[in-house]
């Protein structure tokens, strides 16, 4: 039963002592069960509320109704009692506040386990490719994804009406028509513009790799995406030859795919290199045989050819150097090789995937396998 303040008939010191003792023991008991914020408030209200708290009731039921000759005695006790009740209530409120902060920082509890993220498999592959060239002494540079027509096409020797400049292939920003062509903004279709920007800043000799995102107006399917990744390289110096290109890339492929892989170069065409080539690596899935396993199943990644096309490359076209000749790139004095590779496709081969879209769908069940 909760304590209620009794009406007093007997105002003798003995009777008063008893009544006070009863009240204090009730206070003690109630204060020990104060646990949380809500308890605190109702405890304080019950004892100290001006309107109908226990102290107010004592004032009314004990002091006001005391006979004249007992008033002094009752008054002293009630005053003392007020002090005691206030001290007790304050202590209980503070105590439960202290308990609360203690429990909030219980350092003996095991921590909350949060799975930390991991590098996306494409970015991991990109970093691995970049690391191979860093080890050869190449610098790494990055540049804007939104580019001008000048850096993306003109300075790279694309003729004015080259099909790559068509909106079929290139994503242009809106409302560019009123600008002169060279200033029109687009999403870079390769990382090559960063090579031009860097040659404008740094004089030869130069060894440079550029990783980054590029965009083309391709609808997404198992092997295409409107956004993908490239790593592009450039070496400029006196007497750089096609032999340097072959040696460098052969070394890079052995670092990436294992020292058993062979490389093969076939003639190709790019507007910014002459001569140009596509480089193939011997299939690191079937070892170049075109067949897999005991039952000689056809090897899918190399389409049974034993070779996988991995990148495009070539000797920098002198026309490209003409655009940066003012910064020491005189095609009569220096030469260079360049190459570019698609990171997403290499990551697919590396992880044995047949659907490029898995990389971009953000499905945790797929991504957490790389954590």
CA-to-CA distance for 218 and 237, rounded, in angstroms? 36
Binding residues for ligand 2NL restricted to 234-263, rule: CB under 6 A = 234
Q: Which of 253, 334, 340, 343 binds ligand 2NL (CB under 6 A)?
A: 340
User: Which of residues 261 and 313 has its CB atom nearest to ligand 2NL in the complex?
Assistant: 313
Nearest to 205 by CA among 341, 339, 337: 337
Nearest to 28 by CA among 43, 13, 38: 43
User: Which of residues 62 and 228 has its CB atom nearest to ligand 2NL in the complex?
Assistant: 228
In which residue are the tokens 């008063």 written? 16
- If binding is defined by CB under 6 A, does position 152 make contact with ligand 2NL? no
- If binding is defined by CB under 6 A, does position 313 make contact with ligand 2NL? yes
CA-to-CA distance for 192 and 184, rounded, in angstroms? 17
Both tokens assigned to 60: 């009314």
Binding residues for ligand 2NL restricted to 17-46, rule: CB under 6 A = none
User: Which of residues 39 and 322 has its CB atom nearest to ligand 2NL in the complex?
Assistant: 322
- If binding is defined by CB under 6 A, does position 307 make contact with ligand 2NL? no
CA-to-CA distance for 48 and 28, rounded, in angstroms? 15
Nearest to 316 by CA among 278, 280, 276: 276
Considering only the stretches 61-69, 297-305, 340-348, 353-361, report the one whose residues sit in contact with ligand 2NL under the rule CB under 6 A.
340-348
Binding residues for ligand 2NL restricted to 173-232, rule: CB under 6 A = 192, 195-196, 230, 232
Provide, rounded to whole angstroms, the least separation between the CB of residue 180 and ligand 2NL. Answer: 22
Q: Which of 312, 323, 348, 356 binds ligand 2NL (CB under 6 A)?
A: 312
Residue with the closest Cβ to ligand 2NL?
340
- If binding is defined by CB under 6 A, does position 133 make contact with ligand 2NL? no
Provide, rounded to whole angstroms, the least separation between the CB of residue 316 and ligand 2NL. Answer: 4
Task: Bin 163: left if φ > 0, else alpha if -120 < ψ < 50, else beta.
Answer: alpha
- If binding is defined by CB under 6 A, does position 273 make contact with ligand 2NL? yes
Site string for ligand 2NL, 87-106 (x = CB under 6 A): --------------------
Instruction: Looking at the chain, list the stretches that DSSP marks H as alpha helix, in order from N- to C-terminal side.
Output: 13-32, 37-48, 54-58, 71-104, 121-135, 149-152, 192-201, 242-257, 318-322, 343-351, 364-367
Site string for ligand 2NL, 320-339 (x = CB under 6 A): x-----------------xx
Nearest to 268 by CA among 260, 278, 253: 278
Cα separations in angstroms, 74 against 10, 145, 251: 11, 87, 102
User: Which of residues 209 and 320 has its CB atom nearest to ligand 2NL in the complex?
Assistant: 320
In which residue are the tokens 């095609």 written? 331
- If binding is defined by CB under 6 A, does position 341 make contact with ligand 2NL? yes
Number of residues that bind ligand 2NL (CB under 6 A): 19
Nearest to 164 by CA among 175, 153, 176, 178: 153
- Rounded to a whole number, what is the distance in angstroms from the first to the last CA of the chain? 61
Q: Which of 143, 301, 331, 342 binds ligand 2NL (CB under 6 A)?
A: 342
Binding site for ligand 2NL (CB under 6 A): 192, 195-196, 230, 232, 234, 270, 272-273, 312-314, 316, 320, 338-342
């Amino acid at each position: 039963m909760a304590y209620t303040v009794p009406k007093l008939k007997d105002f003798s010191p003995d009777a008063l002592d008893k009544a006070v003792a009863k009240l204090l023991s009730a206070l003690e008991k109630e204060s020990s069960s104060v646990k949380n914020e809500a308890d605190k408030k109702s405890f304080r209200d019950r004892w100290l509320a001006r309107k109908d708290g226990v102290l107010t009731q004592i004032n009314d039921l004990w002091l006001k109704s005391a006979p004249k000759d007992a008033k002094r005695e009752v008054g002293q006790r009630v005053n003392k009692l007020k002090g005691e009740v206030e001290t007790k209530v304050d202590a209980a409120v503070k105590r439960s506040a202290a308990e609360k902060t203690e429990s909030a920082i219980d350092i003996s509890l095991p921590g909350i386990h949060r799975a930390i993220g991991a590098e996306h498999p494409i970015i991991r592959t990109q970093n691995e490719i970049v690391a191979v060239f860093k080890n050869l002494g190449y610098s790494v540079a990055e540049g804007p994804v939104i580019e001008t027509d000048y850096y993306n096409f003109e300075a790279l020797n694309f003729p004015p009406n080259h099909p790559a400049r068509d909106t079929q292939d290139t994503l242009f920003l809106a409302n560019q028509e009123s600008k002169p062509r060279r200033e029109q903004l687009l999403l870079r279709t390769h990382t090559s513009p960063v090579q031009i920007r860097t040659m404008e800043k740094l004089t030869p000799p130069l060894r440079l790799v550029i990783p980054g995102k590029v965009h083309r107006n391709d609808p997404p399917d198992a092997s295409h995406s409107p956004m993908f990744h490239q790593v592009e390289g450039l070496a400029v110096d006196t007497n750089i030859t096609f032999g340097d290109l072959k040696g460098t890339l052969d070394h890079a492929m052995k670092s990436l795919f294992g020292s058993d892989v062979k490389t093969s170069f076939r003639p190709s065409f790019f507007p910014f290199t002459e001569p140009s080539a596509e480089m193939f690596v011997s299939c690191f899935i079937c070892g170049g045989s075109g067949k897999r396993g005991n039952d000689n199943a056809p090897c899918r990644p190399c389409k049974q050819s034993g070779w996988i096309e991995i990148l495009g490359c070539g000797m920098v076209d002198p026309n490209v150097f003409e655009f940066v000749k003012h910064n020491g790139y005189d095609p009569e004095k220096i030469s260079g090789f360049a190459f570019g590779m698609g990171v997403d496709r290499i990551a697919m081969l590396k992880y044995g995937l047949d659907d490029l879209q898995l990389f971009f769908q953000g499905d945790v069940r797929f991504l957490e396998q790389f954590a």
